[in-house]
């Protein structure tokens, strides 16, 4: 895997190309901070987009779900496209036309590969540790029956693009004196206080890997 993103024809950002990132680390940064991706597949000739959790390690993105999920079945060995989006702000311009959003986003193109055996368990661990770091060691491991009910797909991160927008509104010069507010309203992903399950025994306290989770981790 090269240090730079090496765009193919379909992963080359054309519109707003000055916002395209070339460093592969920018891709890992987006993936590390996001909790949800949108997986698109074509099933029986029709497009489907499914929001779902994911995980990644160097070079591979993992998604999982029920073996009965038609989007995951459709994704097996078939071309897929995954989008990952972080919204950083709403951009208020003096004109409605120039309102915008600040964001960091990644799009990954490729062929999803169903995993089995140790690879499948590894994919599940990566997903679990991405969404709930510390839970793989803390909780009961999956049983054979649970593993059989779960499909895990791996997508190579080779063919990917990253695009971001930062900064304030880009108003027309003629609009700069228009008396409306202009600027950015930041958007942040934060974790609230843990809410224990009603059925939790009194003596089970909130573990440090749940309590000490910083924003965007
Ligand atoms: C939160 C958010 C809100 C947005 N709102 C709007 C909006 O309201 N209107 C609008 O026109 N655009 C919006 N965009 C930008 C949008 O995602 C596209 O980049 C843009 O519309 C250009 O589309 P295109 O098909 O011409 O892209 P092209 O540049 O032709 O796309 C070619 C390839 O570039 C890559 N690519 C394109 N866009 C992105 C991206 N955002 N992130 C990573 N890779 C990308 C993909 O690999 C794609 O296959 C928004 C983006 C985000 C993340």
Q: Which tens digits make up the pLDDT trace of 26-84?
A: 999 999 999 999 999 988 889 999 999 999 998 999 999 888 887 777 656 779 999 99
Mean pLDDT confidence for 166-171: 98
Q: Which of 101, 79, 75, 97 is nearest to 165 (CA)?
A: 101
CA distances from 113 to 28, 73, 80, 89, 154 (A): 20, 11, 10, 35, 5
> For atom 20 of ligand 1, which residue has the closest CA?
15
pLDDT on residue 96: 98
- Tell me if 138 sits within 8 A of 145, measured CB to CB: no
Distance CA 186, CA 188 (A): 7
Average pLDDT across the chain, whole number? 93
Which residues, in sequence order, are CB contacts of 29 under 8 Å at separation 6+? Answer: 104
- Tell me if 125 sits within 8 A of 176, measured CB to CB: no
pTM of the model: 0.95
pLDDT on residue 63: 96
Distance CA 128, CA 54 (A): 8
> For atom 50 of ligand 1, which residue has the closest CA?
101
With the most atoms of ligand 1 within 8 angstroms of its CB, the residue from 5, 14, 85, 99 to mutate is: 14
pLDDT on residue 24: 94
Confidence of residue 202 (pLDDT cuts 50, 70, 90): very high
Distance 101 CA to ligand 1 centre (A): 12
Distance 161 CA to ligand 1 centre (A): 10
Residue 210 has pLDDT above 90, yes or no: yes
Distance 185 CA to ligand 1 centre (A): 21
> For atom 25 of ligand 1, which residue has the closest CA?
15
SS3 129: helix
Which residues, in sequence order, are CB contacts of 117 under 8 Å at separation 6+? Answer: none
């Amino acid at each position: 895997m090269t240090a730079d993103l090496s765009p193919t024809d379909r992963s080359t950002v054309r519109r707003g190309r000055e916002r395209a990132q070339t460093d592969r680390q920018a891709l890992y940064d987006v993936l590390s901070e996001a909790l949800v991706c949108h997986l698109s597949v074509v099933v029986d000739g029709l497009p489907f987009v499914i929001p779902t959790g994911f995980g990644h390690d160097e070079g591979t993105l993992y998604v999982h779900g029920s073996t009965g999920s038609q989007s995951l079945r459709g994704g097996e060995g078939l071309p897929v496209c995954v989008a990952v989006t972080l919204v950083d702000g709403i951009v208020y311009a003096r004109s409605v036309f120039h309102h915008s959003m600040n964001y960091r986003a990644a799009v990954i193109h490729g062929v999803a590969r169903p995993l089995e055996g140790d690879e499948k368990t590894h994919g599940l661990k990566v997903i679990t540790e991405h969404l709930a770091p510390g839970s793989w060691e803390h909780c009961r491991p999956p049983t054979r029956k649970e593993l059989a009910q779960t499909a895990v797909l791996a997508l190579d991160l080779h063919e990917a693009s990253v695009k971001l927008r930062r900064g304030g509104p880009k108003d027309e010069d003629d609009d700069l004196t228009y008396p409306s507010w202009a600027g950015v309203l930041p958007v942040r992903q934060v974790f609230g206080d843990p809410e224990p399950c009603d059925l939790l025994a009194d003596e089970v306290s909130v573990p440090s890997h749940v309590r000490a989770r910083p924003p965007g981790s």
